[in-house]
Amino acid sequence: MSKRAVFLDRDGTIVEDTGFLHEAAKVKLLAGAAGAIKRLNDRGLLVVIVTNQSGIARGLYTATDYSAVQSRLGEMLASHGAHIDGAYYCPHHPQFSGPCDCRKPGLLLYHEAQRALDIDLERSWWIGDRLADVQPARKLGGHGILVETGEGNLHQGQARAIGVMVVADVGRAVDEILRL
């Protein structure tokens, strides 16, 4: 039987969005993020990060820099007993590298995660601080939750207009997922 997953945006959702985060030493978990991810782990939900990383297309940092940030994030989560089951990123930006199918709200990365991890997309959740983070839920039959951290305050009205739940942070989003 396919598994349920929670797709998380990274910057502004579980770590501070410092703008083109590419230095491992600058990774800072948002309050409650590690605990929220651990609760998902403990309930048997897969936790998958899907993130746009246009700084690579812009030439601001490399895929190696991205990997170093991901490694640091993994270490930080592990120190709280939490883990990520998969991480996928789009290194493109239409202005710099042309269009692609992997940039959120595109669906390619979600389908890759589905195949690799045997995910039931219709029973899964999307959490992020931007509309593009949660729009795939509507296309794939899942459920989206916008968090007010990061850029979330800028997208609340649009999210509510399309029926997306809006909560304060990833901890509250996980509360809702586990409640439902």
List the CATH number of the domain containing 11: 3.40.50.1000
Q: Which two tokens stand for residue 17?
A: 């969005």
Model confidence at 54: pLDDT above 90:
yes
Per-residue confidence (pLDDT) for residue 35, from 0 to 100: 98
Model confidence at 168: pLDDT above 90:
yes
pLDDT cut 90: percent of the chain above it:
96
73-93: pLDDT as tens digits: 999 999 999 999 999 999 999
Per-residue confidence (pLDDT) for residue 1, from 0 to 100: 83
101-151: pLDDT as tens digits: 999 999 999 999 999 999 999 999 999 999 999 999 999 999 999 999 999
Q: Is 11 a catalytic residue?
A: yes
Distant-in-sequence, close-in-space partners of 63: CB < 8 Å, separation ≥ 6: 56, 91
Per-residue confidence (pLDDT) for residue 103, from 0 to 100: 98
Per-residue confidence (pLDDT) for residue 61, from 0 to 100: 98
Instruction: Look up tokens 């999210």; give the residue.
Output: 159
User: What 3-state DSSP class applies to 164?
Assistant: coil
Where does the pLDDT of residue 97 fall: very low under 50, low under 70, confident under 90, or very high at 90 and above? very high
Per-residue confidence (pLDDT) for residue 110, from 0 to 100: 98
d(CA 143, CA 167): 13
Q: Which of 11, 65, 85, 133 is catalytic?
A: 11
Residue span of the structural domain in which 135 resides: 5-179
End-to-end CA distance of the chain: 20
Q: What is the pTM of this model?
A: 0.97
67-77: average pLDDT: 98
Q: Is 133 a catalytic residue?
A: no
Per-residue confidence (pLDDT) for residue 180, from 0 to 100: 87
Please count the structural domains in the chain.
1
- The beta strands (E) that lie in the chain are given as 5-8, 46-52, 86-90, 125-128, 143-147, 165-167
**Mean of all residue pLDDT scores within the chain:** 97
Burial class (CB in 10 A: 0-12, 13-18, 19+), 38: middle
